[in-house]
A and B are shown apart, each in its own frame.
Chain A
Amino acid sequence: MKRKVRISTAGTALICALALAAIGVPNSSLAAGKFEGKKITANFMASGTYDKAAAEVKTTFEAATGATVEIVAKPFDQLVQANLTDLATGTGQYDVISVTSWEADVYDKLLPLDTFIKKDNYGKEAGFIPGLLRPNQGTEYYDGKPVGVPYAIDGYAMLVRKDLLAKANVSWNWKTWPEFFSAMNKLKKTLPTTVSPFVFAYGATEQVPAIWLSAYDGYLLKKNGTYGLQTTQMVTALNVVKKSLKYAPSNAKALSIDEANQVFLNGNAAVVMGWPSFIRAAADNPAKSKVVGKWALSSIPGPGMVWLSAWNLGIAKTSKNPEAAWEFIKTYINEKNATTWMASLGIGSPFLNTFKGADAKAKHGHDYPQHADNLEAVKNAPWSFSAFLDVYSRGTGDFLSGKLTAIQTVQSWDKQLGKKKPAAGMIEAAKSSGLMEE
């Protein structure tokens, strides 16, 4: 009997070890039973990607540490709102929190992670893309200390149909929006009526700033740290948004992100602008896409900035189990997981080696090298959640619907945000990335 127990214990241990090896977590970092009886709650965006990955990690983590993890998944705006409410009021619902720059106002309620990072050599040494460790340009910082670890990085990009563009003798190496429009004009002449040159989720008005940010050659914050824009440049940028609509399907103003991506996947658009992480896995899957082997990743035209999406995992100061929370973060964020999930779920890896290996080049040559280049140019917009969603995003919607002209839109933004300031960390980040008035 005793022997049987020993064998079964050894068997379980072996299975756990194999499982850990399979997901690439160093065994030394997960002491078995170290957090027995502890419970942590982690939240993620309900995207079918980050939350799906979290569910995988939960099983492994629980088996290895004895802790219980509850994964809470919410759609983007609900998640941000829940985070802001929880952190601002100190409710303490979550231990591990998925944060982006939208929570910058409450970074002071997150635990500084510098001691954890130092203890575990978890900075550059862990293989993160160095540029993503800059304060508030990939890694969230407060008061000079990191409060998050990046796990999903994305930058706005374009996916192009190589075959259709080649047929029209059009290059996808556009540097500016006028060059892009000239390419679209050429392309339009050669496309069948069922295929539009361009598609974008204009119906998701919170996404439309990606276009005007890329077309806007000006600052986003004034010298004194308040929100401010350069009118002439912004009017030009807004007009680019309207012009781009001419190349999109007639129902483009009503398209959500998923719907716009689907237009491309169905072969009904030659170029789609969006977050690559939301489309790349489907685009390479023959069951979901008609464009397998026909597409390539491209960059978006300038002269403005490429919008960054950087999901970080942080720990709430109210957490009763910060050690277990940190262990969970390490189990979730590592090179092997990130590389696997980038291929299987499309999640943008923050690790350099994901893009370097021979396998990456062979299987994802149409995507990864360009994605790595795009990440070099990404920037964070220094906006608070409310400034973004209720002023810039809504104003963009009013502009698109024709309720406001470009100049009225800019004036309305100035009026609503003229005296407001974003969080201090964002001001610093804007200064360092050239988005602040000099």
Chain B
Amino acid sequence: MLKPLHWSRHDRKWVNLFLFPALFFVLFIQAGPLFYSIYLSFQDWILLSSGSPQGFVGLTNFKNATSDPVFIQSLKFTGFLTITTVPFQLLLGTLLAFLASGQSRFLQMSRALLVLPMVVAPVAIGTLWRLMFNDTAGPINNHFLNFLNLSGPLWLGDPFWAKIAIVIIEIWQWTPFVFIVISSAITMVPQEILQAAQVDGASRLQIFYKIELPLLAPAFLLVIMFRTLESLLTLDSILSLTHGGPGSSTVNMTYAIYNKGLREFDLGAASAQSWMFMLVATVLIFVIFKLTIKSEKKTL
């Protein structure tokens, strides 16, 4: 194992000096607004009523959030969205990555096509799926389910099916991300190890479980981390497809905060909710991050 690189005392001085301007900007640009939002979360400030904060209100904004039915509903839907989309994306993306690995022209073309959903503008995706989910004229109900002799649901008019519609879009749009990362990780698996296992008489399934899967673990954890975070931050598909409806059934935390801050202009409440959201996200990401480090150590 290689020893970590260490700077000499002389070099360290110069490194710190060169690092300082960048650190200053990062602190100023990133930490500045963060600290300001902490300050705002304890203030009463509705921008439409006043141009400046109206005074310290203690934990009121946090307390109000915990008793706000829409915010509580948004917590539930955020959890539902993450739990339902991330495993599916992981499973499908991995499956596709293995199926599309290879050098033939057909596989190369398949890989390019499979990535397409990820590069379409989110608003266009919302509009596209809105047409697809149209319960009378949309192809899902009108052609696909009709062909199977099934009557399709009111996709966007029913709270349960509206949630499922968002889940479908998220899986469709972001499975390609998992596909790309896992595909590139597969190419990094040393061929010699696989060939040695084959020579030793291991089956394809054994090779996958005993060799490829452990070697791909860091990539999986990376994907889980990114997808979990992105899933918590979902906004565009909700905004373009359901606007959080019907009622508040598809309001997630990001949408709830967006509403509070940029529609109600209640900057104090929006800041408090943002910090609550950040706490949840940080805990989740910290756990995944720890798992990633553990898995990387194991692989090395």
Contact = CB atoms under 8 A, between A and B. Distances in A.
B102 interface: no
Interface in A51-109: 77, 81, 84-85, 88-89, 105-106
A105 B251 CA distance: 25
A384 B47 CA distance: 13
A390 B246 contact: no
Contact of A403 (B134, B154, B159, B262): B159
Interface in A386-401: 386, 389-390, 394-401
A276 to B, nearest CB: 24
| Binding site secondary structure of chain B | loop
Contacts of B156: 203, 254
B69 to A, nearest CB: 7
Contacts of A84: 48, 265
Interface in A402-434: 403-404, 412, 416
Contact of B248 (A85, A105, A253, A398): A398
B245 A390 contact: no
Contacts of B70: 390, 394
A88 B158 contact: no
A203 B157 contact: yes
B49 interface: yes
B247 A386 contact: no
A205 interface: yes
B251 to A, nearest CB: 8
Interface residues of A, number: 34
Contacts of B69: 412, 416
B3 interface: no
B266 to A, nearest CB: 8
A105 B247 contact: no
Interface string B214-247: 0000000000000000000000000000011111
Contacts of B246: 203, 205, 253, 397-398, 400-401
A27 interface: no
B248 A397 contact: yes
Contact of A81 (B47, B135, B245, B263): B263
A356 B259 CA distance: 45
A385 interface: yes
B136 interface: yes
Interface in B4-51: 47-49, 51
Contacts of A106: 48
Given A81-B263, A84-B48, A254-B135, A399 B157 contact: no
Nearest to B69: A412
Given A251-B154, A394-B70, A397-B245, A89 B135 contact: no
A50 interface: no
11 contacts: A88-B48, A105-B49, A106-B48, A251-B135, A251-B157, A384-B48, A390-B264, A394-B70, A394-B248, A400-B246, A401-B158
Given A253-B246, A254-B156, A400-B246, 20 more contacts: A84-B265, A202-B157, A203-B157, A205-B245, A205-B246, A251-B154, A251-B157, A254-B135, A254-B154, A255-B157, A259-B134, A386-B259, A390-B263, A390-B264, A394-B244, A394-B245, A394-B247, A400-B247, A401-B159, A401-B246
Interface of B: 47-49, 51, 68-70, 134-136, 154-159, 243-249, 251, 259, 262-266
Interface of A: 77, 81, 84-85, 88-89, 105-106, 202-203, 205, 251-255, 259, 384-386, 389-390, 394-401, 403-404, 412, 416
